[in-house]
Homo-oligomer: A and B are copies of this chain.
Amino acid sequence: MNLIDALNWRYATKRMTGAKVPDETIHRILDAARLSASSMGFQPYTILVISNEDVKKKLHPASFNQPQVIESSHLLVFCAWADYGEKEVDEYMANIAKTRNMDVALLDGFKQAVMGAVNGKSPEEKFNWAARQAYIALGTTLAAAALEQVDANGMEGFNPAQVDEALGLKEKNLRSLAYVAIGYRSAEDQLQFAAKVRREKDKLFHFLN
């Protein structure tokens, strides 16, 4: 299935069957998320992958009791790093050096560039930057799931403070941003039969030819 057909097939699935998505399928979707682009390659976010039913139940009341939290196979919680600085930039440089089999000292110029981008931001700007990067990965995840013919629902409908508390995210230097509930659509979910609504092309896009 090509991407356009896959994106037309998908929808924000509110009712799922509870059936489990095979591990190898989940991992292909996660691999796509991992390969997502990120500004300067920094990826200042972490993604919780929850298949534990007790944890999902704990998040349910903090998520306005939406059924897909329980009925999903896997609930992904996209989290921005709450804070970051030289330690995280050094870890990134070490990963580049290891991946490219080079001396980390050769990356000093690039390190200074990333540090400049990080240090030039207020704590709130840092958080918002990290959140935007996470949403690139979220978009990739939804596309990847659709191409696998697996349903996925991007969700902001939860109380972030309650979710952070329930998952102990503060201690992990994380702040919850959005879920992606992954699973299979229930036949009961009427929304699958509704026409997809998107802004018209000549409004969404301005062409400067």
How many copies of this chain does one complex carry? 2
A195 and B100: CB pair below 8 A?
A: yes
C-alpha spacing A201/B43, complex, angstroms: 12
Contact with B along A181-209 (1 / 0, CB 8 A): 00000000000001111111101111111
B7 and A35: CB pair below 8 A?
A: yes
Q: For residue A133, which residue of chain B has the nearest CB?
A: B135
The smallest C-beta distance from A85 to any residue of chain B, in angstroms, reads: 17
B154 and A206: CB pair below 8 A?
A: no
C-alpha spacing A36/B50, complex, angstroms: 24
Beyond A51-B208, A208-B49, A208-B52, whether A34 also contacts B201 by CB under 8 A is yes
Tell me, yes or no, whether A30 is within 8 Å of chain B by CB: yes
Q: Which of B2, B12, B147, B200 contacts A95 (CB 8 A)?
A: B200
The smallest C-beta distance from A180 to any residue of chain B, in angstroms, reads: 9
Q: Which residues of B contact A35 (CB under 8 A)?
A: 4, 7-8, 196, 198
Contact with B along A1-38 (1 / 0, CB 8 A): 01110011010100000000000000010111111110
Contact with B along A142-184 (1 / 0, CB 8 A): 1110010000001010000000000000001000010000000
Tell me, yes or no, whether A62 is within 8 Å of chain B by CB: no
C-alpha spacing A195/B196, complex, angstroms: 39
A205 and B30: CB pair below 8 A?
A: yes
Q: For residue A32, which residue of chain B has the nearest CB?
A: B3
Tell me, yes or no, whether A114 is within 8 Å of chain B by CB: no
Q: For residue A2, which residue of chain B has the nearest CB?
A: B147
A139 and B135: CB pair below 8 A?
A: yes
Q: Which residues of B contact A69 (CB under 8 A)?
A: none
Q: Which of B12, B37, B96 contacts A139 (CB 8 A)?
A: B37
Q: Which residues of B contact A50 (CB under 8 A)?
A: 208
B143 and A49: CB pair below 8 A?
A: no
Nearest 5 pairs between A and B by C-beta? A139-B139, A7-B35, A135-B135, A136-B139, A50-B208
